[in-house]
Amino acid sequence: MRRTILICGATGFVGRHLHSSLSLKRFFNPQEKIRDPNVKIVGATRNVQRARKSFPSREFVGLDVHECCGRNLKGFTHAYYLVHEIAEHEDYHQREINGAQRFAKAAKDAGVERIIYLGGVQPAPGQIVSEHLKARRDVGEALRNEHPNVVELRAGMIVGAGSASFEILKTLVARLPLMVIPRDLNHYSEPVSIQDMVYALNLALDEQHMMPGVYGCPGASRIQTKELFSEMAQMLKLPFVIEERAWLPANLASKLGSWVTHVEQSFVDALMEGLRSDLVCDENSIWSLAPQHPLLTYREMLEQALSCNSNTLLERGVRLMRQKAAPTEYAFKKLLGWI
């Protein structure tokens, strides 16, 4: 069966890796480089010229989910929705919902058979839900309300060279020998490797064995926030001490993270807010459909990511980077002052 697959968010971290795997005959074997003649992959982006310059061998079409209609999606059998606008606008939550509704309606009108959406794992009932995770949840609901065949994959931190959370974590550990975090941020999560995430996204194309619905995508390790940092320090072979203190406000910790990593404050705020609850998958895991697939542990995914020698701080574009970054020494003095 011939498939024509559209990837919305194709130039992002996950979309870039997904594009490579979808065009291979055997996506689950990274050594297999045979192209599948029955699969056509097209990336959707707002800036086609820039995308083609970065990936000259790939096909792209111009598409803005806030303006798309049925004719934009005509001819596609499946669509991946990897669009996230975390902290890009003050009203990004509602913007994401509006964009998802418009896209799903256009996909339905165009005859797209299935939409596959990468969302975020949700805290257990009664725990704090960050604005960012609420937006991820509500986007999934918006897609399902407009299209009858939606698969939502919910993941926590995706680890790989160039991913936002990985690069922020690596930079903090590399530049701060002593780190203090608010006590209410030391919760459990299940980071997943980019390799496992791409495998799950490929599985979601299988309409015979995978029904529409919501599936969790946990990694092999359930780990606390402090361990995320300490494991990274061990892999980097750097001296590192991390402590938790009840008196440290989250907004001050977020400012430190922004100073040290040179990442926009609003972006760091959104990520840190998500750490105020346990982000674990206790039911309906996608891996029940692939019991033989070997998931990477957190240490293994760090080892693979670090072996890539990525020097990229964040692959979110210049708009998320400070034009003039505060020196690390200044940030470290601020930390000592708080202690």
Tell me whether residue 45 is in a domain. yes
Q: Which domain holds residue 142?
A: 3-159+192-219+278-291
Tell me whether residue 102 is in a domain. yes
> Alpha helix locations (H) across the chain?
13-22, 48-54, 92-110, 131-146, 164-175, 194-203, 225-236, 250-261, 265-273, 298-307, 328-338
Q: How far apart are CA 56 and CA 51, in angstroms?
A: 8
Q: How far apart are CA 171 and CA 86, in angstroms?
A: 20
Tell me whether residue 239 is in a domain. no
For 227-269, the DSSP string reads: HHHHHHHHHHT---EEEEETTS-HHHHHHHHHHHHTB-HHHHH
pLDDT reported for residue 309? 56
pLDDT reported for residue 85? 75
pLDDT reported for residue 140? 97
pLDDT reported for residue 226? 93
Tell me whether residue 244 is in a domain. no
Say what percent of the chain tops pLDDT 90: 54
Tell me, rounded to whole angstroms, the distance of Cα 118 from its chain centroid. 8
User: 27: which residues sit within 8 A by CB, 6+ positions away?
Assistant: 21, 198, 199, 202
pLDDT reported for residue 27? 47
Tell me whether residue 214 is in a domain. yes
Tell me whether residue 260 is in a domain. no
Domain count, the chain: 1
User: Is it the case that residue 114 has pLDDT exceeding 80?
Assistant: yes
User: Is it the case that residue 179 has pLDDT exceeding 60?
Assistant: yes
User: Is it the case that residue 283 has pLDDT exceeding 60?
Assistant: yes
| pLDDT 10s digits, 184-236 | 888 999 999 999 999 999 999 988 889 999 999 999 999 999 999 999 999 99
Mean pLDDT of 125-146: 92
Contact predicate 236/306, CB 8 Å: yes
pLDDT reported for residue 204? 94
| CATH number for position 154 | 3.40.50.720
